[in-house]
Homo-oligomer: A and B are copies of this chain.
Amino acid sequence: MANPRAAMLVIGDEILSGRTRDSNMHHLAGELTARGIDLVEARTVPDVHATIRDSVRALSEAHDIVFTSGGIGPTHDDITADAVADAFGAAIDVREDARAILTAHYDARGTELNEARLRMARIPDGAALIENPVSAAPGFILRNVHVMAGVPAIFQAMLASVLPGLTGGAPLMSQSLRIYRGEGDIAGPLRKMATDHPDLSFGSYPFQKDGVHGAQVVVRGTDAGQIADAMTWLSDTFGGDAE
């Protein structure tokens, strides 16, 4: 049975302007791969209602699981929750369970739960909350879409609470070998290996370091024995250093 297929929607004007470099997608990718869930697409979009709505709808229909990051804070440009609700025709308003969480959090700090902060309690009808152990304001899950914060520490904490509930496939394992030959020299044999071993994938990534150039070959698969055999053949054929 094939692994579940996931997509990520990174939301934020500041990423598309180049001001901020996203780290959530890379983090998500590693966590999913380790659990046998294949991240098959990622999109980065601006804080625009229609764009978020349409992207969420498209990704939700095309893939098994969707994760979004960004746009669930208290300011006017935090519009993700409403856009996700719109994507599925769900009603959205301040919800009592989320309000209670925020009330407890801000009361304990003597901070006013003002109109702006209350926006973070806007949760679509039918959504389940995702706990935010860092700063209280919850994420949520609606249909197959997990809506989470953009701040990396909060995204990672929310993801950690969500992952145990997901059913993964066979974890994808990989091993790699640093080969001190040009990519062009190894490409022919590597292509043959890929054709002969359809259950493995072979990636080749050129490197250059201190005047030495070569290719890092990465063997990926779900069967440790197959991977080990492939690695043995590669190092017998090309030499190089296992990593």
Q: Which residues of A contact B (CB under 8 A)?
A: 13-23, 25-33, 38-46, 51, 73-77, 111-112, 114-117, 119, 151, 172, 174, 182-188, 190-191, 194, 201-206, 215, 218, 220
Query: 9 other contacts beyond A13-B203, A77-B203, A115-B188, with CB at 8 A cut-off?
Result: A14-B205, A16-B42, A17-B33, A18-B30, A42-B43, A73-B183, A77-B194, A116-B183, A116-B187
CB distance from A152 to the nearest CB of B (A): 11
From the candidates B17, B117, B174, name the one contacting A172 in the complex (CB within 8 A). B17
How many copies of this kind of chain does the complex include? Answer: 2
Known contacts A116-B188, A182-B111, A183-B73; A39 and B16 CB within 8 A of each other = yes
CB distance from A150 to the nearest CB of B (A): 8
Q: Which residues of B contact A116 (CB under 8 A)?
A: 183-185, 187-188, 191
Q: Which residues of B contact A20 (CB under 8 A)?
A: 205
In the complex, residue of chain B having the shortest beta-carbon distance to the beta carbon of A38:
B16
In the complex, residue of chain B having the shortest beta-carbon distance to the beta carbon of A43:
B43
Known contacts A42-B43, A194-B76; A184 and B18 CB within 8 A of each other = no
Q: Which residues of B contact A73 (CB under 8 A)?
A: 183, 204, 206
B188 touches A114 (CB 8 A): yes
From the candidates B15, B43, B119, name the one contacting A29 in the complex (CB within 8 A). B15
- The 8 closest A-B CB pairs, nearest first, are A116-B187, A18-B29, A18-B30, A117-B184, A76-B191, A42-B44, A21-B26, A75-B204
Q: Which residues of B contact A174 (CB under 8 A)?
A: 17, 19
B29 touches A191 (CB 8 A): no
In the complex, residue of chain B having the shortest beta-carbon distance to the beta carbon of A207:
B151
Among A41, A73, A76, A185, residue most surrounded by chain B Cβ atoms (within 10 Å): A76
CB distance from A218 to the nearest CB of B (A): 7
B75 touches A191 (CB 8 A): yes
Known contacts A13-B203, A77-B202, A190-B75; A45 and B41 CB within 8 A of each other = yes
Bound CA span A9–B184, Å: 25
Bound CA span A190–B213, Å: 52
Bound CA span A26–B121, Å: 32
Q: Which residues of B contact A115 (CB under 8 A)?
A: 188
